[in-house]
Every structure is written in structure tokens, then in C-alpha cells.
Amino acid sequence: MKKRKIAIMGLGTVGGGAYDILTRNRDYILKTQGLDIEVKYILDRDVTPLEKRGIPVSLWCASADALAADPEVELVIETMGGVEPAKTFISKMLSAGKSVVTANKELLAKSWHELEPIAKAHGCGLYFEASCVGGVPVIRALGESFQGDKVQAIYGIINGTTNYILSKMSRDGCDYATALSDAQRLGYAEANPSSDVDGYDAAYKLSILASLAFHTCVPYGSIYREGISGVSARDIENAHELGYEIKLLAIGKRDGNNIEARVHPAFVARDHALSSVSGAFNAVYLQGDYVGNLMFYGAGAGAAPTGSAIVSDVVKALGGSPKYCDFDNNGKLDKNINLVGDFVSGYYIDISVEDKPGVLSRISTVLGENNVSIKAATQAPGDDGTANVVFLTHRAGEKSVMRSLESIGKLASVINVQSVIRVL
């Protein structure tokens, strides 16, 4: 049987995981899939990563041009991360007619529309199951399992770092800084955690997932993004008292030509399936017009889960023909699509006020004047003659709520609006 020769660009955690699966399960893949896959090259800066993993240094390749020029290599795995030089290298491989399997969500969110035409022009494929939610096969499901359904909504916990931080705050009652420090100590968060905690990573992934689910380009730059650094231990405590957990959610909805795409912390009711997703685990909750509600759950990162998704794409690419987008993936929002900015949600609002009679009534009046209806309200004494007023609203428009808060912030007895978190 002919050996199917491939290469790996970047032997970090994920690239190493893919290599391990391809080598250790080589006979199993041959037996079950009829493919004898051999890693011929590993592209990296030097041989050190290979030596550390006990991989023969004879596999090392120093030049992307040399890799692209080798006619024996049919497919290349990219696990370098970042935009450059990954984008340039992937372009070289696709231009040489080699399919590419990548886990690079940032690059896809920003340059998918540039890379796929190259693949299509040269008869090869661009595969990216591993770019979103680690080993959970949600991209394959969106592309191959919903042909008869219109996906109406996506609700995703798709960043393991933020889910770990919020889970620790919920479990231990600690503040954000303490939970972040613990996540960094355990390797869940980078020294500079901005990509995760400020919501960029989740927004990259939502751009990919929403585009596939809604069959139209949902550009990364069009997604509303808010991180978790403003979530306090008090917010977590209030959420528990009201029957909720706080999660960083990636939300996508489509109703006709109206699309919502947003990433932000949210109150999730404890009887919702997503509320129990804890630690570094991920989940994607989908609503189809006929299939109903489905949830995909599993490890969202790591060498083994992400490596498994990569190998799945390798097998798919070598065993069949490439499939391309079924929509105009030009990196722009379609002119017929209305991106909803004034979306509707419930809201949790925590306001610090002077502890005086009538304050609650004045705040309630402002909310009512802006068509924001109160579902629940509590008041607790604070320090030095202050109090904290907490509101849970019925569903209301985003602009109405923000307009209310602007007016409330100007009331004489209001010290500040401490927290605003949307409710799923």
C-alpha cells in the first residue's frame, strides 16, 4: 500500500500531540481507514523540539520552500499559531497543491477568506476542525450534519481559560485576580492572558462557527466583545443567590437576515445545561429549527484532544475530496445581512447608592421610563451609609438598558453602577 506522506509545521504542544497520535495509532488508522500515513518532515526553528520528544532529527526541515517543493508531501499540518509566518507558509503549501490542516483560529478568523480561494484554485483543501473547541467535532457537525436544518442559535463556552477562572471564583469564592493567578500557575492562562480574558479567542472562534452555522460570512470585527476582568466575587455571589452561574458566552443567532454575534459574560440559569460546564471544559449548545437543541461537550484544548481533531482532518483530507464554503466567504458582511446591535436580553445590574429613602424608587422610575421592566430587586446595606441595589430585569433592548444606566448614573443619590451582566 502506498504511504501517504505528510508534514507538520510547528512542533509545540498541539503539533506534538498530532505527531504522537499519527505515529502511535498508525497501524490502527491503516486498519480502520485504509490509509498508511507517514510524517516525512517536521518544520521548526531548530531540532531542539524534536530532540526533546525523542523524534528522529532526520525528520527536521528548516525551509517552508523546500517543504512546498517536495512532490511526495500531500498534506501539511500547521500548528505554529499566530498570523505570521503561518499565513505565508500555509499560502505556499496551498499554492503547491498541498492540503492544509490547521488549528489556528486567529488566522482563520482574520484570513480564511484569503486562504480558501488559494486552496480552491489549486484543487486542495483547507481543514480546521481543531480550530474551535479542541477535540469536540462541532465544525464537522455544522458542515455535514445539519443539511436539513437551519441553525437558529449558538451558545458556546468556547474558551477554557475563562471558564476555569469563573469556575474557580464560583467554587472557592475568590476574586478574579486570585483565580487568574491560579490559572497561570497551572498553565491554563498565559503570562499575558489578554487573548483569553478579554474575549478575543472566543470571538475568533465565534466568527468561524457562526459563519458555518448561518451560511454567511460573520467577520471577526463585527462581533461585540467583552471580557471577564470586570466580574467580581460579589457578582458571583449575587448570581448564586439568584439561581445562576456566570459564564463567558459566545452567542450567535440568526432570524431571517438578522444576525447577532456577541461575546460577553452572562448569567446562566442553573437548570440550563451550560451552567454545569466547569473547569477548562468547553461546550457548544445549538438550536436547529427541526432537530431542536443539541449540546457538544468536551475538552477544549490540550495536546491530545486538539491533536485528535487534527488527525481526524488528516484522515478526511487524504480519504476524500475537499469541500469549500457554501457561501460567499469574502471577509465582509453580506449587504443583505443586518447585524443586530440592539439585541434583547435580561440584565443583572448592581448599583452602589447612598442609603437614603426613595433611591430604589427613583432608579425604578428611570428603568420604567426606558421600557425596562424589573423582574427582581434586592437592597443590602454597605459601608458608611451606602447600600447596594441589585436588579434583575425582564428581557429588554440593549440600547434601552444602556440609556437607562446613563441616566441612573446621574442621579444625586447614586454613587456608581458597579456591574452590568447580561442574562441568557
Q: Which residues are catalytic?
A: 205
Give bridge partners of residue 38 from the DSSP assignment: 5
Contact 334, 258 (CB under 8 A): no
Q: CA–CA separation, 36 vs 5, rounded Å? A: 8
Q: What burial letters (b/e) apply to 382-412, b meaning 16+ CB within 10 Å?
A: eeeeebbbbbbbeebbbebbebbbeebeebe
DSSP class of residue 151 equals E
Among residues 1, 126, 11, the alpha carbon closest in space to that of 57 is found at 11
d(CA 77, CA 79): 6
Cβ-in-10-Å burial (0-12, 13-18, 19+) of 339 comes to: middle
Question: If we measure between CA atoms, which residue out of 232, 230, 226 comes closest to residue 264?
Answer: 226
- d(C-alpha 405, C-alpha 265), whole Å: 18
Q: Strand 292-299 to strand 281-288: parallel, antiparallel, or no bridges (unpaired)? A: antiparallel
Q: What are residue 114's phi and psi, to 5 degrees?
A: -90, -35
CA 280 to chain centre: 13
